[in-house]
Amino acid sequence: MTVPTLSRFVIAFALSIFWLLGNNLLFAQTDGSDPANVVVAIQGRLSLKRYGWTNYVPIAFGTWLQEGDLLDLGESSSAKVVCSDLSLHDVRMGIGAIPCSPSRPVLRRQDGSLIHATRDWPDDGAPIVLSPRKTRLLSPYPTLRWTEVKGAHTYHVYIRGLKFGLAGADTTATSFDYSAKDPTLEPGVDYKLIVAADGQAPSDEPGPDLGFSIVEPMEKALILQEEHQVESLKLPDGPTQFLVAYLYSTHRLYAEAIDRLEMVFPTFNVAAGKRLQADLYMKIGLPRQAESDYLVSLDLSRIENDKEGQMLDHKALSYVYELIGNRKASSQQLLETLDLARSLGDDFTARQAETRLAEIKAAAVRHTASKP
């Protein structure tokens, strides 16, 4: 490894660690650690070999690329990449580097499996807020959503904020469209949605930062300008909405990113869309919802013959099952991750999986030994 390459590795690693620890100084208004250059179109054969891998493998729509990756585009094939600065480039035929130059990144990689999501809130008959939670919003008129409570007939909606309180209308549905008739949600103020079932006293879901806020006007204008850049690429609707969702997630607009993905999924059935949606559910502390989407993504990745996608889904599912206390299922997902990492020649991920499997096994031994 050359000194410049080593320096880039050290810097990238350091940035990742800062992000995982929740450092907000480096990327005050964004999320993710690495610039995301995204494959948005493939016709024919396109294979990828990441730095540190020993093999080239076929890839699918939505694969993120980084400096040091090598692409192999087959004869009579074509592919396009949207770089992290929102520029669109063709992939050259044959083996070569990614068609993106270092620049100011707008898109950043999302990976919900790296987020330590909160464990499931106990099922005590209270609704769980689905949206908005742990998110920022462009629109001051969000759709409020929560889980159904079996046997409940009426839900009462509360929004709590500084010098603000909404004892909202009762509804028999599990959603409520906030409108201009309701009290104004001001930019920069922290709010929290609370829902009570059948006249029960409102109960806060435990956990930090489960509220939401509206972005300030100047930042909103910047985000909308970036969204216009995406739309000006003139890609089909599916890739366009996927990229807008990716852009929103970079700005921590998780609820609206999920809305975009759910809107396009029925007609744009790709693994990358469901994986991104699952990552976002992990970021807002909803591992059960993430599990469902990761499982769909896994099935689609198999259809797309995307081994790295399958590996990412198995790895993420291992986190999900660990969070909900199913160590056996977590271990099974890690074994699948390990097998796929070895087939890719991805020694780094293989070592991660081996280490975690050993830790789970050791914890199980300690648990057994502690029993009377």
Q: Where are the domains of the chain?
A: 25-109, 119-214, 217-370
Residue pair 210/285 in contact by the 8 Å Cβ criterion:
yes
Section 147-163 average pLDDT = 85
Q: Which amino acid is at 45?
A: R
Q: Helix, strand or coil for residue 213? A: strand
User: Residue 273's pLDDT band (boundaries 50, 70, 90)?
Assistant: very high
Report the pLDDT value the prediction gives residue 102, as an integer from 0 to 100.
83
User: Which of these ranges, 39-43, 185-189, 196-200, has the smallest mean pLDDT?
Assistant: 196-200
Report the pLDDT value the prediction gives residue 135, as an integer from 0 to 100.
97
Residue pair 331/302 in contact by the 8 Å Cβ criterion:
no
Report the pLDDT value the prediction gives residue 163, as an integer from 0 to 100.
55
User: Which of these ranges, 88-97, 226-235, 319-328, has the smallest mean pLDDT?
Assistant: 319-328
User: Residue 64's pLDDT band (boundaries 50, 70, 90)?
Assistant: very high
Report the pLDDT value the prediction gives residue 200, as an integer from 0 to 100.
78
End-to-end CA, the chain: 53
Torsion-angle region of 64 (φ positive above 0: left; ψ -120 to 50: alpha; else: beta): beta
User: Which of these ranges, 13-27, 46-60, 226-240, 306-320, has the smallest mean pLDDT?
Assistant: 13-27
Residue listed under structure tokens 């929102």: 86
User: Which of these ranges, 4-18, 96-110, 227-241, 346-360, has the smallest mean pLDDT?
Assistant: 4-18
Instruction: Label residue 132 exposed, middle or buried (CB < 10 Å: 0-12, 13-18, 19+).
Output: buried
Topology adopted by domain 119-214: Immunoglobulin-like (2.60.40)
User: Residue 344's pLDDT band (boundaries 50, 70, 90)?
Assistant: very high
Within its chain, how far is the Cα of 280 from the centroid? 3
Report the pLDDT value the prediction gives residue 198, as an integer from 0 to 100.
86
Report the pLDDT value the prediction gives residue 108, as an integer from 0 to 100.
86
Report the pLDDT value the prediction gives residue 25, as an integer from 0 to 100.
25
Report the pLDDT value the prediction gives residue 112, as an integer from 0 to 100.
67
Q: How is residue 39 annotated by DSSP?
A: E
Name 124's Cβ contacts closer than 8 Å, sequence gap at least 6.
none
Report the pLDDT value the prediction gives residue 355, as an integer from 0 to 100.
95
User: Residue 165's pLDDT band (boundaries 50, 70, 90)?
Assistant: low
Report the pLDDT value the prediction gives residue 168, as an integer from 0 to 100.
64
Task: Write out the H or E segment, with its range, that includes residue 137.
Answer: strand 135-137
d(CA 122, CA 205): 9
pLDDT > 70 fraction of the chain, expressed in percent and rounded: 83
pLDDT in tens, 196-254: 898 776 666 777 788 999 999 999 999 999 999 999 999 999 999 999 999 999 999 99
Report the pLDDT value the prediction gives residue 6, as an integer from 0 to 100.
35
Greatest Cα pair distance in the chain? 67
Residue pair 315/349 in contact by the 8 Å Cβ criterion:
yes
Q: What is the CATH number of domain 217-370?
A: 1.25.40.10
Supply the mean pLDDT for the chain: 85
pLDDT at 24 > cutoff 70: no
Higher pLDDT, 46 or 1: 46
Helices (H), the chain: 3-20, 217-231, 237-250, 254-264, 271-283, 287-303, 307-323, 327-344, 347-370
Query: Do 119-214 and 217-370 fold alike per CATH?
Result: no
